[in-house]
C-alpha cells in the first residue's frame, strides 16, 4: 500500500477531509471539555501530511493518547529544530505528559532510533508514491541508540515550560499589577 493510499484511508477513518484539512483556513484542537478553533497557518499546512503519516506508521489514533506518542516521537527525531512547527510538538508533548506520560515515553524511545520524515527532504509527491515499507526503511537509523534519560528529562522540562508559559505569564502579570 502506498503512503497516499494509506493517508486516504486514515482521513476517511477519522472523518477528515481528503487533504487532511490542508486547504482549510482553521483547524480544531479538541479537549475533553472544549474545542479550540485555531488558524491553519501555512507552515502547518505544509507539514500536516507528514504528521498524519507518522500516525499511520505507528498505528496511532488521533486521540490525545495517540498525539502523545507522536509528540514524543517528533521531539526525539528533532522536529523541535523546525521553527515554528516545533513549538506545536513541544506544546503537545508537555500537555500530553500530564495525561499520557507512558505514551510520550514510548514515542520518544521510538523516535531516537528513526529519522524524522521531514528530515528526509523528499518532496510531497515523491513521498506519497512510496510504499509504507519503503518509508519505514528510509526513516530507520543505521545505528541504534540507547535512551539518554538526561536528554529525555530535559525535553520533558522544556515541553512543560511551553505548556505552562501562558499561565506563568498571567500570574506574573497579576502580581505586577497588584
The pLDDT of residue 70 is 97
pLDDT single digits (tens) 99-141: 999 999 999 999 999 999 999 999 999 999 999 999 999 999 9
In this prediction the pTM is: 0.88
What range defines the domain where residue 60 resides? 3-177
pLDDT single digits (tens) 56-77: 999 999 999 999 999 999 999 9
**How many structural domains are present in the chain?**
1
For residue 170, is pLDDT > 90?
A: no
Distance CA 118, CA 81 (A): 11
In contact, 161 and 94? CB cutoff 8 Å? yes
Distance CA 69, CA 74 (A): 9
Amino acid at each position: 500500500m502506498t503512503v497516499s493510499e494509506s493517508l486516504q484511508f486514515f482521513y476517511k477513518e477519522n472523518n477528515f477531509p481528503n487533504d487532511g484539512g490542508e486547504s482549510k483556513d482553521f483547524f480544531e484542537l479538541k479537549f475533553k471539555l472544549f474545542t479550540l478553533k485555531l488558524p491553519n497557518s501555512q507552515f502547518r499546512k505544509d507539514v500536516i501530511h507528514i504528521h498524519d503519516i507518522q500516525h499511520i506508521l505507528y498505528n496511532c489514533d488521533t486521540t490525545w493518547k495517540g498525539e502523545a506518542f507522536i509528540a514524543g516521537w517528533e521531539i526525539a527525531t528533532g522536529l523541535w529544530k523546525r521553527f515554528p512547527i516545533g513549538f506545536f510538538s513541544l506544546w503537545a508533548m508537555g500537555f500530553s505528559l500530564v495525561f499520557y506520560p507512558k505514551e510520550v515515553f514510548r514515542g520518544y524511545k521510538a523516535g531516537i532510533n528513526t529519522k524524522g520524515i521531514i528530515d528526509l527532504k523528499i518532496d510531497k509527491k515523491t513521498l506519497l508514491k512510496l510504499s509504507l515499507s519503503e518509508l519505514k526503511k528510509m526513516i530507520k537509523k543505521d545505528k541504534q541508540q540507547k535512551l539518554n534519560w538526561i536528554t529525555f528529562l530535559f525535553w520533558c522540562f522544556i515541553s512543560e515550560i511551553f505548556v505552562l508559559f501562558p499561565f506563568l505569564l498571567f500570574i506574573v502579570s497579576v502580581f505586577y499589577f497588584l
